[in-house]
Amino acid sequence: MKIIIATAVATVLGATVAMAGATKPQDVAFEDGAVAVSVSGTAGDAAVGREVFANRRLGNCLACHVNSDMPELSFHGEVGPPLDGAADRWSEAELRGLVANSKQTFEDTIMPGFYIDTGYFRPLDDFAGIPILNAQQVEDVVAYLLTLKE
Amino acid sequence: MGMYLLKTTAFAAGLALMAGSVAQADEGATLVINEELTIATTAKAPAHLENIDEITSGWIYRTKETQALQMDDFDNPAFVFVDIALDLWNEVDGTEGKSCASCHTDGPEEFAGLTATMPRIDKDGNLETLTEVVNRERVEKMGAKPWKYSKTNMASMTALIGLQSRGMPVNVAIDGAAAPFWERGKELYYTRVGQLDISCSNCHEDNYGVMIRADHLSQGQINGFPTYRLKNAKMNTTHGRFKGCMKNIRAVPYKEGGEEFKAIELYLASRGNGLTVETPSVRN
């Protein structure tokens, strides 16, 4: 129980802090596809990141990637490579870059940029001018990806 | 190209995870309807296709259960709507006191082959869809109100007319006056849209045959339209389907019956030139 409350508080705090120190999508600095510093200004929470990863309205990463760490969920997509061992293949900065805007790493990829708010056409009104994930969610997903080791 | 066709490794991994799920399509199955009509569900790609050698019907990507529904007209739920259309065919409507049957005395059979060539260029040089032809008939010949583009009465009537071409090869014209419309459709097909910034081609050309979450991606062919979907238990039009795909990538859909969707319809029909008309098909 205590742990759960602690996590929840941390999440709320994280979100608040994120607002203050977050880097706007257009200000994110990419270097060879990688992003060195946290876009939210705080560390990510891997447990929350795991939720964001699976959630169809947020990351929905499972739509395109097999992830053996989530056997409890059915229907893992196969459009992209399995993410097992992703942390063995990529550094934290590279993973942050891949989540924020994978086109900086794989030009022409089908994988959406999760932290961009311009450069896409005809977005539905509810999604116009905002990124798919907010800064803290990006960091949470990155923290989660860093746990995917083989 | 952004291609990541993990047809071997990831597919195997995916199957391991999804054993026992709905993911069990039978891509090698043969479609024989009513034990007599064999439908070619694969064909050599038309010359204009640069990135695909073989074209395939969406039927092969569906589960065995869904596939079976299309193999017998008694099991195919779309025939409920074909029957609705037969009633509409005989129903007098409009100021002229006429039904379709008043003039088309040989029945809808008269339209054998028509759907295989739609959409096409009309006498004024515009691109016209079968839906528009039916509404032109209603308005001009019957003095009746046009039907809404994707409503059940219209989708049922185009299914009835499409059924008359079942088993015939898709063969839409893309040259001459059709060329500019076709070019436009092609451009739209390859244009990324929506917050997810994805094009039709990203899914239906680069990734057909693989799972996208619970869905088995097909080439997005339209040789079976209008199609009965188990998801909403009704007839679904091409434009209705395009709309759904655009919303899924969080894009504002083009208008049903509008220039963009008509152009995409022509382009998609041409990507299926050589496949067989399957109308009315069944999908999930």
CATH number, domain of A83, equals 1.10.760.10
Residues of A in contact with B23 (CB under 8 A): 75
Residue in A132, A122, A66 with CA at minimum distance from that of residue A102: A132
**Chain B nearest C-alpha distance from A18 (Å):** 22
Q: Torsion over CA of B73, B78, B80 and B84, rounded to 10 degrees? A: -120
Q: What is the mean pLDDT of residues B83-98?
A: 98
Q: A101 lies in a domain?
A: yes
Q: What is the mean pLDDT of residues A47-58?
A: 97
Q: Which residue of B has its CA nearest to A130?
A: B195
Catalytic status, residue B245:
yes
Residues of chain B whose C-beta is under 8 A from some C-beta in A? 1-2, 4, 6, 9-11, 13-14, 17-18, 21, 23, 191-198, 202-203, 206-207, 210-214, 217, 246-247, 250-252
Predicted local distance difference test score (pLDDT) of residue B28: 79
**Chain A nearest C-alpha distance from B257 (Å):** 18
For residues B263 and B154, state if they share a domain.
no
For residues B202 and B217, state if they share a domain.
yes
CATH of the domain at B135: 1.10.760.10
Q: A94 lies in a domain?
A: yes
Residues of A in contact with B202 (CB under 8 A): 110
Contact A35, A100 (CB under 8 A): yes
Q: Which residue of B has its CA nearest to A81?
A: B10
Task: Report the residue from B1, B10, B250 with minimal CB separation from A66.
Answer: B10
Predicted local distance difference test score (pLDDT) of residue B26: 73
Predicted local distance difference test score (pLDDT) of residue B24: 62
Give the domain range for residue B145: 79-163
DSSP characters for chain B?
Answer: ------TTHHHHHHHHHHTTSTT-B-TT--EEETTTEEE--EEEPPTT-SS-SEEE-GGGGSBHHHHHHTT-TTT-THHHHHHHHHHHHH--BTTTTB-HHHH-TT-GGGGTTTGGG-SEE-TTS-EE-HHHHHHHIIIIIH--PPPPTTSHHHHHHHHHHHHTTTTSBP----SGGGHHHHHHHHHHHT--BTTTTB-HHHHHTTSTTSEETTEE------TT-SEEETTTTEEE-HHHHHHHHHHHTTBPPPPTTSHHHHHHHHHHHHHTBTBB--PSEEE-
Please give the tally of structural domains in chain A: 1
Please give the tally of structural domains in chain B: 2
pLDDT band at B34 (very low <50, low <70, confident <90, very high): very high
Contact assignment for B10 to A106 by CB distance below 8 Å: no
Give the domain range for residue A58: 2-145
For residues B186 and B159, state if they share a domain.
no
Residues of B in contact with A122 (CB under 8 A): 193-194, 246, 251-252
Q: Which residue of A has its CA nearest to B251?
A: A123
Predicted local distance difference test score (pLDDT) of residue B192: 98
**Chain A nearest C-alpha distance from B2 (Å):** 4
Q: A150 lies in a domain?
A: no
Q: What is the mean pLDDT of residues B107-116?
A: 98
Q: Which residue has the higher pLDDT, A11 or B166?
A: B166
Q: Which of B163, B181, B213 is where one domain is finished?
A: B163
For residues B53 and B121, state if they share a domain.
no
Half-sphere exposure of B229 (CA within 13 A, CB side): 15
| Burial zone of B49 (CB within 10 Å; 0-12 exposed, 13-18 middle, 19+ buried) | middle
For residues B50 and B184, state if they share a domain.
yes
Residue A33, pLDDT > 90, answer yes
- DSSP class of residue A115 equals T
pLDDT tens-place string over residues B198-219: 999 999 999 999 999 999 999 9
Q: What is the mean pLDDT of residues B120-138?
A: 98
Q: What is the mean pLDDT of residues B121-149?
A: 98
Q: What is the mean pLDDT of residues B280-284?
A: 98
Contact assignment for A66 to B21 by CB distance below 8 Å: no
Of these residues, B100, B103, B203, B245, which one is catalytic? B245
pLDDT tens-place string over residues B239-268: 999 999 999 999 999 999 999 999 999 999
* % of chain B with per-residue pLDDT over 90: 89
For residues B189 and B225, state if they share a domain.
yes
pLDDT band at B5 (very low <50, low <70, confident <90, very high): very low
Q: What is the mean pLDDT of residues B168-182?
A: 98
Establish if A58 touches chain B: CB-CB under 8 angstroms: no
Q: What is the mean pLDDT of residues A92-115?
A: 98
Q: Which of B102, B136, B163 is where one domain is finished?
A: B163
Instruction: Enter the tokens of residue B178.
Output: 């059709």
A125-139, B19-33, B42-56, range with the lowest pLDDT: B19-33
Residue A10, pLDDT > 70, answer no
Q: Which of B113, B144, B163 is where one domain is finished?
A: B163
For residues B196 and B56, state if they share a domain.
yes
Mean of the per-residue pLDDT values of chain A: 90
Which helix or strand (DSSP H or E) is residue A7 part of?
A: helix A2-21
pLDDT tens-place string over residues B42-87: 999 999 999 999 999 999 999 999 999 999 999 999 999 999 999 9
Mean of the per-residue pLDDT values of chain B: 92
Residue A1, pLDDT > 70, answer no
Predicted local distance difference test score (pLDDT) of residue B29: 84
**Chain B nearest C-alpha distance from A149 (Å):** 17
3-state secondary structure B4-71: CCCCCHHHHHHHHHHCCCCCCECCCCCEEECCCEEECCEEECCCCCCCCCEEECHHHHCEHHHHHHCC
pLDDT tens-place string over residues A68-85: 999 999 999 999 999 999
Q: What is the mean pLDDT of residues A15-19?
A: 46
pLDDT band at A13 (very low <50, low <70, confident <90, very high): very low
Q: Which residue of B has its CA nearest to A131?
A: B195
Contact assignment for A66 to B13 by CB distance below 8 Å: yes
